Amino acid sequence: MSDISVRVDGVAGRITLTRPKALNALTYDMAMAIERALDDWADDDAVRLVVLEGDCEKAFCAGGDVAELYRRGRAGDYEYARTFWRDEYRMNAKVAEYRKPVVSFLHGFVMGGGVGIGCHVAHRVVCESSQIAMPECAIGLVPDVGGSLLLSRAPGRLGEYLGVTGHRMDAGDAVHCGFADVFVPEAGWDALKAELCESGDADAVARAAVEPPASALARAEWIGECFDGDLAKVIACVREEEAVKAVRKGSPLSMACTLELVRRLRAMDAQIGPALEMEFRFTARSMEHGDFLEGVRAALIDKDRSPVWRHRPEEVTEAEVTAMLAPLGEERLKWEDWA
């Protein structure tokens, strides 16, 4: 079976991730197939909208496939990862700015790369099983694929909290935090997809929606109190068990840079392009100067869950954060990369 199915179904372009054994983790080839499909359908009058979905019981897309990035990086080839991220981010921008309606069906795990393809579109559908997260700090990255932009737009300090801890949002939380638009019980998804493919009417999504579950995060006042300062303050303040575990396990450099990244984008009232460009500043440096290789080793290769980070939390300096997020000059992510 191919890892992705791209076809026209009625008046809809339909993209289905079909890599269930890997929870639909996004490979470079899958990302490029999505971009080609969007390019092919952009001026095709027979395609009125696009449907994004995953053919996997447990996940829409549980993240990006970083195993090859790790292998190349360990061998000293950092440029392969930079090319991967540069091309993936171009695709993310095309998804976000696509001229035709795009409807994403976000069931099960939607993490990292899954957020990049599913959470920037105009019509984002969640259900009972949805669990959406940006857990990059746990592997030595920052929330990327445009995820930092969504975090910057979340209410209050929820963006900082979600970015640093990788907390998994359920459907109610995802709607409240701006990662999803509507709740449609999964039992009604097949009928909704059939209507979209037959009619091309994206308003069918709103007609099928029901009230989402209440958001627990909307009532968590302690998040605003704990996540309004630097990393040292966050670590000293948090008492909630899940958050305590997350800030103890994450890369200190990644967590500190995530706080800065989210706040910069919020202050800029940024759009997708500047957000991706700023994310790329970090990811382009993440192998040579950050914790990415060690984070992947501990989480996905050796699976010992015992990463040896470059810093203790109290050791990350403002200068180091500034350096990781500094402009890249001619190596920057350029607008023409996704034009």
Q: What is the pLDDT of residues 213-256, one digit of tens each?
A: 999 999 999 999 999 999 999 999 999 999 999 999 999 999 99
337, pLDDT greater than 60: no
Span 25-58, pLDDT tens digits: 999 999 999 999 999 999 999 999 999 999 999 9
Q: What is the pTM of this model?
A: 0.96
Mean residue pLDDT across the chain: 96
The CATH number of residue 177's host domain is 3.90.226.10
H helices of the chain, in order, are 28-41, 67-74, 79-96, 113-118, 147-153, 158-165, 171-177, 189-199, 204-208, 221-226, 231-237, 241-249, 252-268, 272-283, 292-296, 318-324
Q: What is the pLDDT of residue 335?
A: 63
Q: What is the pLDDT of residue 334?
A: 80
Instruction: Please name the amino acid found at residue 213.
Output: P
| Active site amino acids | 64, 113, 136, 144
257, pLDDT greater than 70: yes
Q: How does residue 339 score in pLDDT terms, banded at 50, 70 and 90?
A: low
Q: What percent of the chain clears pLDDT 70, i.e. is strictly above it?
A: 98
Q: Domain range for residue 257? A: 4-337
Q: Into how many domains does the chain fold?
A: 1
Q: What is the pLDDT of residue 336?
A: 62
